[in-house]
Structure 1
Amino acid sequence: MDVLRLLDEIEDILEESSTIPFAGKLLVDKEDILDVIKEIRIKLPDEIKQAEWIKEERQRILAEAQNEADTMIEEVKVHMEEMIDEEEITKKAKERAEEIIGKAQVNAKEIRLGAREYADELLKEVQEKLNFVIDTIDKNRDELKGF
């Protein structure tokens, strides 16, 4: 920084100045000191502007980094919610599938039982008709024997 160099220059001027004995005072060239102060006044606004720019740039970078971090956090939240939703959908689909399979198994069992009962009824009717036919055949044979 030029301002620090100029302050060092003032310090050098003061150190190189003659001292007044027993007074603890210095004899300095007023023009030298005023020239350095004038340069400081000229340089100071530029350096202040540069420092302000650095400060603003730092703030902008920090704000940008915070925005990026917030965006990333939000994206992670959305992704997690999507994954949770997908898991819920999968879970509900599995539950629904199990429910459908259960109903299908109950229906299949009812159909098997119904088919067995129907087949048993048909066989019973056939058996009764066959018994009737056998009885009729036996009677007819008995009649034939009686002749």
Structure 2
Amino acid sequence: MEVLKLLEEIEDILENASTIPFAAKVVIDKDDLLEIIREIRIKLPDEIKQAEWIKEERQRILAEAQNEADTIAEEAKIHIEEMIEQDEITRKAKERAEEIMRNAQENAKEIRLGAREYADELLKEVQDQMNIMIETVENNRNELRGLK
């Protein structure tokens, strides 16, 4: 910053100035000092404007970075929720598949038991019919024996 250089010049002038004996005062060239002060006044607004611009730019960059960080965090949150949801969907699908398999196995077991009962009933009917037939055959044989 040029203002700092000009302030250093003022310090140099004061340090190298002639001193008045027995007093804490110095003799300086008034025109030299006023010229430096004029230059400071000229340069100071530009440097203040530049410092304000830097400050505003810094704030803008920080706000932009914060927005980007917020966006990334939100996207990560959404992605995690989607992954959790996908995991939940997969878990529910597996549970549903297991339920369907259990139901199918129970239905198959019921069908097998029903088929056995039905076959047993049919065989019982056949057996009963055969017993009736055997009894009829025996009666017919006994009748034939009685005719002899």
> 1:96 Cα deviation (Å)?
2.2
Q: For 1:4-83, list aligned pairs within 5 A.
A: 4-83=4-83
Unaligned runs of 5+ residues in structure 2 are none
Deviations 1:46-99 (A, max 9, x none): 111111111111111111111111111111111111122222222222222222
Deviations 1:5-44 (A, max 9, x none): 1011111111222211112211111110000000011111
- Percent identity of paired positions between Structure 1 and Structure 2: 73
Q: In 2, distance between residues paired with 1:23 and 1:119?
A: 134
Letter in 2 for 1:62: L
Name 1:134's counterpart in structure 2. Answer: 134
Unaligned runs of 5+ residues in structure 1 are none
Q: In 1, distance between residues paired with 2:35 and 2:138?
A: 152
Q: What TM-score, normalized to structure 1?
A: 0.90
Count, aligned residues = 147
1:116 is the counterpart of 2:116:
yes
CA RMSD of aligned residues (A): 1.5
